[in-house]
């Protein structure tokens, strides 16, 4: 028997694996150097951006100082209409003094009576019986109630006590 023959002749590779690796690394390094050179040539944009950022910071500080002045000092908001501007802390103190002078009044919305809850719903559940091998796993149905006995009615809800009603701070 003869040795198997191949369709392609045995041609040695032109570049070995190590040579391809070095070639790729060289291309990568050349790309990095080109990027650094181009970035250095375009260095003027950083100074321009820093100048713009400085202007934005100055404008923001000016706006913040004006807003702080408006929030912390009294003055006219609209003198023609007679509207003044006062600090928030002063406004809260004035409003609190005005509310203390008023009598408490009912809420703007009506609160209905509490919905009665049946006593059986609030009672604690009975403990689960022990599983017994002789008894079936499913519970038996409850016996029907006698026809002559009326169904139990739920107890009326207790009247609200004065301690349970909301009060206003004095």
Largest Cα–Cα separation, the chain: 119
Per residue in 32-72, pLDDT (tens digit) is: 999 999 888 876 667 788 899 999 999 999 999 999 988 88
Element (H, E) at 28: helix 17-41
Selection from 36, 37, 15, 35 nearest residue 24 by Cα? 15
pTM of the model: 0.33
Cα separation of 126 and 120, whole Å? 11
Spacing of C-alpha 140 from chain mean position: 50
Residue 77, SS3 per DSSP: strand
Cα separation of 84 and 74, whole Å? 7
Per residue in 82-113, pLDDT (tens digit) is: 999 999 889 999 999 999 999 988 878 877 78
Beta bridge partners of 83: 78
Q: What is the pLDDT of residue 24?
A: 94
Token code pair at residue 81: 């209409």
Selection from 115, 112, 111 nearest residue 157 by Cα? 115
Token code pair at residue 87: 């600090």
């Amino acid at each position: 028997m003869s040795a198997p023959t191949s369709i392609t002749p045995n041609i040695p590779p032109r570049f070995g694996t190590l040579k391809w690796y070095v070639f790729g690394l060289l291309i990568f390094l050349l790309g990095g150097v080109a990027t650094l050179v181009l970035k250095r040539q375009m260095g003027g944009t950083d100074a321009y951006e820093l100048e713009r950022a400085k202007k934005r910071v100055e404008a923001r500080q000016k706006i913040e100082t004006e807003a702080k002045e408006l929030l912390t000092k009294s003055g006219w908001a609209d003198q023609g209409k007679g509207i003044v501007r006062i600090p928030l802390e002063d406004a809260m103190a004035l409003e609190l003094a005005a509310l203390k002078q008023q009598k408490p009044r009912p809420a703007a919305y009506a609160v209905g009576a509490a919905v009665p809850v049946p006593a059986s719903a609030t009672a604690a559940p009975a403990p689960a019986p022990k599983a017994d091998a002789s008894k079936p796993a499913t519970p038996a149905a409850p016996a029907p109630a006698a026809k002559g006995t009326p169904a139990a009615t739920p107890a009326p809800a207790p009247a609200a006590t004065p301690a349970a009603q909301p009060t206003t701070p004095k």
